[in-house]
A and B are shown apart, each in its own frame.
Chain A
Amino acid sequence: MDISIENLTKTYGAQKALDNLSFQVKTGEILGFLGPNGAGKTTTMKAITCYLSPNAGDVKVGGVSVLENPNEVKKNIGYLPEHNPLYLEMGIVDYLKFIGELQGVDKAHLMERVNHMIQICGLSLEKHKKIGELSKGYRQRVGLAQALIHDPEVLVLDEPTTGLDPNQIIEIRELIKQIGKEKTVILSSHILAEVEATCDRVLIINRGKIVADGTAEELRSKAKGNEVLKVGIAGAERNAAFEALKALPDVELVDFAGEGKNLYEVHSAPERSSCQSIFDLCAKNGWFLTQLTPIEKNLEDIFRELTKDN
């Protein structure tokens, strides 16, 4: 089920949370939604799930508009809101049954669905407890289970892995990936590694506007610029190696990296690679390389660059 966001604008008083935002998500795509705090991630999600109605623009889920037929849209969406609100005084099974009923799961399949959710979200051992007695990680699983209970076509997850331990994070990511094979998933996060690990496509927004859109690789290559290498040289005097590196024609800038060790950060000249000349230099002087690693710009740098000052 496709999602299409069309010229969405939402203002809170004088503040523009979303500014003419438009994008599409295709069926089977996992879209990672990135942005600094207050960029409009949550507001967009609330508009998709019909909790907030936009000042202008429209959201269409599978061709159905949220403005014209919100109930139809809501039926197709599984939503995990930010902070994962739950009825703490309810038991897990009761809660999932309640949400299942609301989502229109028919009576004959309700218990089956509830048990299935308990199983795939890893809640089997806890299922007789009240939600209030669960730890944060387990509550997050309950939140995910309620979002999935009616087998929705679209999954909207607002920071799904906050508060989980590393093992749980990996489990939940795997789960999302698996679900994302057939369904459309939008997930927001401020953990960049997570978006990289789970999502097919990354959307970075800042102040209600899209600032980058593409796969993690695309974004990275776009922001790559000049080659930066981390070079370790042994068998040479520290400053001699430094001077020799600096004298290479392909090298623009050399920096010491790490005190007391023969580690250097070498910035190559634009459009050039200095790998070979560094290797040759070492071979000629009888030094040997302990390290020659390209330093990749990670998503974090791209993110910072894009959302810094505009």
Chain B
Amino acid sequence: MKQILILTKKELKGYFDSLMAYILIVVFLGLSGFFTWLYGNGDVFFINRATMQPFFGIAYWTLFLFIPALTMKQIAEEIKTGTIELLLTKPVSDWQIVTAKFLATLSLIAITLALTLPYYITISNIGEIDHGAVITGYLGLLLMSAAYISLGIFASSLTSNQIVAFLLTLIIGIFFQILFGMLSMAFSGFSSDVFAYLDLQSHYSAITRGVIDSKDLIYFASLIFAGLAASELSLIKRNLH
């Protein structure tokens, strides 16, 4: 546990030292702020209700695009520069490294999301807001981010090329983000159900609507776990070639 904390601290500090964190925060706040308040078609004033739904809608896509950029270097760069060997010959396990990298990126996303709390305060001052839906909305964003971070770390562990890791995360991610939903509509019967279950958006919107169902939580938990376990395996595979 202590090792995970040391590694997480180092990774998180790395984000802030490399400007990556500031770029993410500024661009995320800019984009989500613009579409929540100013865009016109679909913003808070257009809907004319005190709701965070426009923000959760835009954050869903912004994070989907940003997370691969944050995770792409995580392991790919360590493989490229050889520092992975340095880490793994310290009293640290593969699992601890993967978990620490996951936690560091998730913390950065959490910090970014925390900075959007003024939106919530402002809107709740304008009118009656459904506080429960806001809390579950943030929870949904965190869960969705966690799922894509673990996918991103897995992609990053497969290659020493950051661009490949970035694109791979987007390509696999787009299936969960939208394609599985489309596929479930195109098919019928059992396969339709399978695709519908795999579709991340349906689980996400269920949570952001304020409904916390164990089915959705299990979905996210298994995605996160699968991604991290696959990353660990991909690190361990150095012993197989």
A residues apposed to B, CB below 8 Å: 12-13, 46, 49-53, 71-72, 74-75, 77, 79, 81, 83, 85-90, 98-99, 101-104, 146
The reply to whether B239 and A53 contact each other, CB–CB distance below 8 Å, is yes
> Is the C-beta of B10 less than 8 angstroms from some C-beta in chain A?
yes
List 5 contacting pairs A-B, 8 Å CB cutoff, sorted by A: A13-B241, A85-B81, A85-B83, A102-B3, A102-B7
The reply to whether A98 and B10 contact each other, CB–CB distance below 8 Å, is yes
- Collect the chain B residues with CB atoms within 8 Å of residue A79's CB: 86, 89
- Collect the chain A residues with CB atoms within 8 Å of residue B92's CB: 74, 102
Encode B1-36 as 1/0 by CB contact (under 8 A) with A.
001001100100010011000000000000000000
The reply to whether B91 and A75 contact each other, CB–CB distance below 8 Å, is yes
- Collect the chain A residues with CB atoms within 8 Å of residue B86's CB: 79, 81, 85-86, 146
Contact of B89 among A51, A72, A90 (CB under 8 A): A51
- Collect the chain A residues with CB atoms within 8 Å of residue B128's CB: none
Q: A49–B88 Cα gap in the complex (Å)?
A: 9
15 new A-B contacts at CB < 8 Å, known A46-B85, A74-B92: A49-B89, A50-B88, A51-B88, A52-B239, A85-B82, A85-B86, A87-B14, A88-B81, A90-B17, A98-B10, A102-B6, A102-B87, A102-B91, A104-B91, A146-B86
Closest to B3 in A: A102
Chain B: residues with Cβ within 8 Å of the partner, total of: 22
The reply to whether A71 and B89 contact each other, CB–CB distance below 8 Å, is no
Contact of B90 among A53, A83, A86, A103 (CB under 8 A): A103
> Is the C-beta of B215 less than 8 angstroms from some C-beta in chain A?
no
The reply to whether B85 and A71 contact each other, CB–CB distance below 8 Å, is no
Q: A75–B91 Cα gap in the complex (Å)?
A: 6
- Collect the chain A residues with CB atoms within 8 Å of residue B3's CB: 102
The reply to whether A81 and B82 contact each other, CB–CB distance below 8 Å, is yes
Give residues 60-100 of B contacting A (CB, 8 Å): 81-83, 85-93
The reply to whether B89 and A77 contact each other, CB–CB distance below 8 Å, is yes
- Collect the chain A residues with CB atoms within 8 Å of residue B14's CB: 87, 89-90
The reply to whether A102 and B89 contact each other, CB–CB distance below 8 Å, is no
Q: A49–B241 Cα gap in the complex (Å)?
A: 18
- Collect the chain A residues with CB atoms within 8 Å of residue B81's CB: 85-86, 88
- Collect the chain B residues with CB atoms within 8 Å of residue A104's CB: 91
- Name which of B14, B83, B91 has the most chain A CB atoms within 10 A of its CB: B91
- Collect the chain A residues with CB atoms within 8 Å of residue B238's CB: 51-52
B residues apposed to A, CB below 8 Å: 3, 6-7, 10, 14, 17-18, 81-83, 85-93, 238-239, 241
Closest to A79 in B: B89
Q: A43–B176 Cα gap in the complex (Å)?
A: 41
Contact of A83 among B7, B10, B82 (CB under 8 A): B82
- Collect the chain B residues with CB atoms within 8 Å of residue A49's CB: 89
- Collect the chain B residues with CB atoms within 8 Å of residue A12's CB: 241
The reply to whether A85 and B85 contact each other, CB–CB distance below 8 Å, is yes
Q: A159–B90 Cα gap in the complex (Å)?
A: 19
The reply to whether B241 and A74 contact each other, CB–CB distance below 8 Å, is no
Q: A72–B93 Cα gap in the complex (Å)?
A: 12
Contact of B85 among A51, A53, A88, A99 (CB under 8 A): A51
Q: A79–B7 Cα gap in the complex (Å)?
A: 19
Known: A71-B91, A98-B6, A103-B90. A89 touches B85 (CB 8 A): no
- Collect the chain B residues with CB atoms within 8 Å of residue A101's CB: 6
Q: A107–B68 Cα gap in the complex (Å)?
A: 35
Q: A12–B241 Cα gap in the complex (Å)?
A: 6
The reply to whether B18 and A89 contact each other, CB–CB distance below 8 Å, is yes
CB distance from B64 to the nearest CB of A (A): 27
CB distance from A120 to the nearest CB of B (A): 20
- Collect the chain A residues with CB atoms within 8 Å of residue B91's CB: 71-72, 74-75, 102-104
CB distance from A24 to the nearest CB of B (A): 21
CB distance from B226 to the nearest CB of A (A): 24
Q: A89–B83 Cα gap in the complex (Å)?
A: 12
Closest to B236 in A: A53
Q: A101–B100 Cα gap in the complex (Å)?
A: 15
- Collect the chain B residues with CB atoms within 8 Å of residue A71's CB: 91, 93
Q: A12–B238 Cα gap in the complex (Å)?
A: 10
Ranked 10 nearest A-B pairs via Cβ? A85-B82, A49-B89, A85-B83, A74-B91, A71-B91, A102-B90, A101-B6, A79-B89, A81-B85, A75-B91
- Collect the chain B residues with CB atoms within 8 Å of residue A50's CB: 88-89
Q: A79–B88 Cα gap in the complex (Å)?
A: 11
CB distance from A180 to the nearest CB of B (A): 20
Closest to A78 in B: B89
Closest to B93 in A: A71
- Name which of B10, B82, B87, B238 has the most chain A CB atoms within 10 A of its CB: B10
Closest to B241 in A: A12
- Collect the chain A residues with CB atoms within 8 Å of residue B7's CB: 102
Q: A86–B86 Cα gap in the complex (Å)?
A: 8
Contact of A74 among B10, B18, B82, B89 (CB under 8 A): B89
Q: A53–B87 Cα gap in the complex (Å)?
A: 16
Q: A13–B239 Cα gap in the complex (Å)?
A: 11
Closest to B238 in A: A52
